[in-house]
Amino acid sequence: MSCGEFELIARYFNRVTSSRRDVEKGIGDDCALLNVPEKQTLAISTDTLVEGIHFLRDIHPADLGYKALAVNLSDLAAMGADPAWLTLALTLPDVDEAWLKAFSDSLFELLDYYDMQLIGGDTTRGPRSLTLGIHGLVPAGRALRRSGARPGDWIYVTGSLGDSAAGLALLQHRVRITDPAVHEALIKRHLRPMPRILQGQALRNLASAAIDISDGLISDLGHILKASECGARVNIDALPLSSVLRDHFEPEQVLRWALSGGEDYELCFTVPEINRGALDVALGRLGVPYTCIGQLAPESEGLTLLQDGKPVTLKLKGFDHFDAR
Amino acid sequence: MSCGEFELIARYFNRVTSSRRDVEKGIGDDCALLNVPEKQTLAISTDTLVEGIHFLRDIHPADLGYKALAVNLSDLAAMGADPAWLTLALTLPDVDEAWLKAFSDSLFELLDYYDMQLIGGDTTRGPRSLTLGIHGLVPAGRALRRSGARPGDWIYVTGSLGDSAAGLALLQHRVRITDPAVHEALIKRHLRPMPRILQGQALRNLASAAIDISDGLISDLGHILKASECGARVNIDALPLSSVLRDHFEPEQVLRWALSGGEDYELCFTVPEINRGALDVALGRLGVPYTCIGQLAPESEGLTLLQDGKPVTLKLKGFDHFDAR
C-alpha cells in the first residue's frame, strides 16, 4: 500500500473548513487544546458504529458519514447542548480513496452546518468501524437529563416514530413496497436522521427530563422512568405515525416499529403541566411536530400501554447489541 | 446470550471509585457533563487499539486494560497535561465475564492511580477493539507542543529506548533469550509502559517542544522537526539503551529497535540552552533517567544521524499502520 497513514489522514480529514475560536490547537499534535467558555458546561458522548451491526455492508459512504455524526449529535440534542467539537477514530480494512472522499465530504458538510470542528482522532487498519467522540456546550446548570421527571408530567416525542425501522426493513428486503417515492422517503428516514438540536436547546428551561430515541421508544422512555423513579401511561393511539407508514403497512407492524424499532433519533421528553403553554411557544415555531403521548405516573405503576383507554400487553424489546438479534 | 448490554456495562464499568469534583454527571445519561476549572485548557486525545494490529490475540486482558490507558496517558504527558477523564468504546465479539473482570480491574487500578474518572463510552459487538478518549487539563497557555523548538535547542529523551520493541519480538518468537528474568523484564516494558506524566508536567516551563515516542524515535522526532521547521543532529552513540538490551542482542538490532521500534512511550523533548540547568533540577528528582541525544539544526540540514561524530545512513522507518508491515 503506497499511501501512508499520516498522509491519508492529512488529505481527507485535516480540512480547516471551520475554525472555532475555542479551539486553540486542532489536529496535528499529541492532543487537541480546547478552551471552554466561562459558565458553560461540557457535554461529552461517545458512540461506536460497527459494520454489519450498526450499518449495512453496502451503505454508501456519504450516508455513513452523515449518519455517524447525526446519531452523535442526537445525544447532544438530548442534553440541550450546542455542538462544538468532534473526534473520529476510523478503522478501515484498506485505503479506498473514493470511499474516503465520499465519507469525509459528507461528514464535513454536516460538521460545517453545525459550525463544528474535527479536533482529532485516529486511523487504524482493521474491520471497518467508527468511534465518534462528540463535545458540546451547555449553559451551566441547564442541561437536560434523564432524571428530574415527576409523576403528572406529560410525555412528548418530536417528529414521527417507526419510519427509520421501516426504512431498515426495506433496505434488508424484509418488507416490500411498490411506490418508489414512499420507498425512498422511508429509507431516507433511516439513513439521514435529523438530530433535534434546536428542539433540545428550546427545551432547556421547559422539560423535566429528556432522552433521544435510539433503541426504541419503550426502551428509551424506560431510561427516563428508571432515572426519574417514575411509572408512565402511554396512549399508543396517540403515537405520531407518518401517513406513509400507516398507509402501507399492517397496524401491528407499524406499532412494533414505533414502539421498539429504534434509530428514530427523535427526542422523548417530559414537561410539567405548568410549562405546557410555554412549550407550544418554544417548539411551535421550529417546524417539527411534537406530540403528547402520555403522562408520568408513580413508580409503583410501572409502564402501562393504553389502547382505546384500556391497558394492553405487547411483546416488545428495545435494541440490545448483545441480545440474540 | 443472557446478559444484556446495559447490565454488562453497569456491572464492570459503572464503578464510582473516583468521584472528581469537576464531573457533574458521569456515566448514565446521553452525555457526561463536565466543568473545566477556570484558567485551564482542555487537552483531548483519541486512540484506537485493534486486535491483531495493536495488540496480540493472546494478550492477557489485564495487560490490555493497563496498556490501552497507558498509551493514551502518554499523549497527555507529551502536552504536560494532568489526566482527568476517560471515555471507553469497547467492541467485543462476545461477553466473556472473566475477560471483562480482568480487563476492567486493571483499567480501574490505573484510573484510580491518576485520580481519573471513566465518564462514558459505548459497548458494541464486533471484532475486538477499543477506542479511548482521554481528557486532561493544563494551565492556560502552558501546554507543550510539537512546534516551538529552535535550531540550537538540545534534544532529550526520557528512560531507555528499544526495550518495548525487543519485548514485542520476544512475544512474537522472532528472537530468543535464555535468561527468564531478562525475558520477563523486556516483555514488561512492552506490556506495561510507564506514561511520563510527571516529567511532562515538569517540562511545562522548560521544554520548547515535546512528543511521546509511539512510532519510534526517528518518526516522532520527525514530527517535532516538521512542526518546528528544524533539522537535527542525533548522536546514536548517546541513545539511552538498557543494559539488558546491550548485553543480549546484536548492536545493529538494538539500534534499529531504539531508533524505529516504536511503542517506547518515552518523551522526546527539546530544551533551549538557557533552561538546561533548570531542567536538571526539575527532572533530576523524579527518578527516571533522561538523556541528551543531540541538537536541533536549521531545517535545511534535515535529520542527520551521527556515529563516532560522523554522519551515517541507516534504512529505518517508523510504525505506519497502512504500510506493508
Give the SS3 label for residue A10.
helix
pLDDT in tens, A288-323: 999 999 999 999 999 999 999 999 987 655 444 443
Question: Band of the pLDDT at B1, cuts 50, 70, 90?
Answer: very low
Question: Residue A21 domain-assigned?
Answer: yes
CB contact under 8 A, B47 and A122: yes
Whether residue B225 sits in one domain with residue B95: no
- Residue B85's Cβ-side half-sphere holds a number of Cα atoms within 13 Å equal to 29
CATH at residue B271 = 3.90.650.10
Whether residue B300 sits in one domain with residue B162: yes
CB contact under 8 A, B30 and A95: no
Give the SS3 label for residue B88.
strand
B146 assigned to a ligand binding site: yes
Nearest chain A residue (CA) to B51: A126
Query: What total of structural domains would you count in chain B?
Result: 2
Please report the residues numbered 195 through 214 in chain A whose beta carbons come closer than 8 angstroms to any beta carbon of chain B.
210-212
Please say whether the beta carbons of A88 and A135 come within 8 A: no
Which grid cell sits at A258? Answer: 414505533
Burial classification of residue B287, based on how many CB atoms lie within 10 Å of its CB (0-12 exposed, 13-18 middle, 19 or more buried)? exposed
Q: Average pLDDT for residues A250-260, to the nearest whole number?
A: 94
CATH at residue B99 = 3.30.1330.10
B323 touches chain A (CB under 8 A): yes
Q: Average pLDDT for residues A157-173, to the nearest whole number?
A: 96
Task: Give the per-residue pLDDT at B313.
Answer: 85
A32 touches chain B (CB under 8 A): yes
Please say whether the beta carbons of A214 and A139 come within 8 A: no
Please say whether the beta carbons of A308 and A235 come within 8 A: no
Whether residue A233 sits in one domain with residue A116: no
Whether residue B193 sits in one domain with residue B108: no
CB contact under 8 A, A42 and B28: no
Whether residue A39 sits in one domain with residue A169: no
Please say whether the beta carbons of A128 and A92 come within 8 A: yes
Edge-first strand order for the sheet with B290-298 is: B209-212, B267-271, B154-158, B290-298, B230-235, B303-307, B310-312
- Among A93, A115, A139, the domain-final residue is A139
Nearest CB among B28, B53, B120 relative to A46 is that of B120
Q: Report the C-alpha gap between A35 and A30 in whole angstroms.
A: 17
Instruction: Name beta bridge partners: B43.
Output: A33, B136
A2, A14, A21, A46: best mutation site toward chain B, by most B Cβ within 10 Å? A46
Whether residue B294 sits in one domain with residue B161: yes
Question: Residue A321 domain-assigned?
Answer: no
> Which chain A residues are within 8 Å of B76, Cβ to Cβ?
30-31
CB contact under 8 A, B53 and A120: no
The DSSP string of A247-312 is HHS-HHHHHHHHHHT-----EEEEE-GGGHHHHHHHHHTTSS-EEEEEEEEEGGG-EEEEETTEEE
User: What is the helix (H) or strand (E) element at residue B253, kind and residue range?
Assistant: helix B251-260
Task: Give the per-residue pLDDT at A315.
Answer: 67
Whether residue A164 sits in one domain with residue A103: no
Nearest chain B residue (CA) to A212: B30
- Which of B89, B96, B73 lies closest to B130 in space, CA to CA? B89
Question: Residue A148 domain-assigned?
Answer: no
Q: Average pLDDT for residues B226-233, to the nearest whole number?
A: 96
CB atoms inside a 10 Å sphere around CB B57: 7
Q: Distances in Å between the alpha carbon of B5 and those of A132, B125, B187?
A: 19, 9, 34
Q: Average pLDDT for residues A275-284, to the nearest whole number?
A: 95
pLDDT in tens, A50-61: 998 888 888 999
Whether residue A236 sits in one domain with residue A112: no
Whether residue A79 sits in one domain with residue A52: yes
B30 assigned to a ligand binding site: yes
Whether residue A116 sits in one domain with residue A29: yes
Whether residue A121 sits in one domain with residue A219: no
> Which chain B residues are within 8 Å of A227, Cβ to Cβ?
28-29
Question: Residue B48 domain-assigned?
Answer: yes
Nearest CB among B42, B129, B212 relative to A129 is that of B129
Q: Report the C-alpha gap between B172 and B191 in whole angstroms.
A: 13
Which grid cell sits at A15? Answer: 480540512
Question: Residue B240 domain-assigned?
Answer: yes
A57 touches chain B (CB under 8 A): no
Task: Give the per-residue pLDDT at B11.
Answer: 81
A128 touches chain B (CB under 8 A): no
Q: Domain span at residue A254?
A: 154-312
Q: Distances in Å between the alpha carbon of A248 and those of A170, A188, A189, A264?
A: 12, 16, 15, 18
Edge-first strand order for the sheet with A310-312 is: A209-212, A267-271, A154-158, A290-298, A230-235, A303-307, A310-312
Give buried/exposed letters for B249-263 (b at 16+ CB in 10 A, else e).
beeebbbbbbbbbbb
Q: Average pLDDT for residues B34-44, to the nearest whole number?
A: 95
- Among B109, B139, B169, the domain-final residue is B139
Nearest chain A residue (CA) to B26: A44
Whether residue A284 sits in one domain with residue A181: yes
Question: Residue B243 domain-assigned?
Answer: yes
CB contact under 8 A, B129 and A91: yes
Residues listed for chain A? 325
- Among A84, A114, A139, the domain-final residue is A139
Question: Residue B320 domain-assigned?
Answer: no
Cell match 479511548: residue?
A: B132
Give buried/exposed letters for B134-162 (b at 16+ CB in 10 A, else e).
bbbbbbeeebbbbbbbebebbbbbbbbbb
- Which of A16, A98, A92, A86 lies closest to A62 in space, CA to CA? A98
B60 assigned to a ligand binding site: no
Q: Average pLDDT for residues B130-134, to the nearest whole number?
A: 96
B17 assigned to a ligand binding site: no
Please say whether the beta carbons of A76 and A111 come within 8 A: no
Question: Residue A317 domain-assigned?
Answer: no
pLDDT in tens, A176-235: 999 999 999 999 999 999 999 999 999 998 999 999 999 999 999 999 999 999 999 999
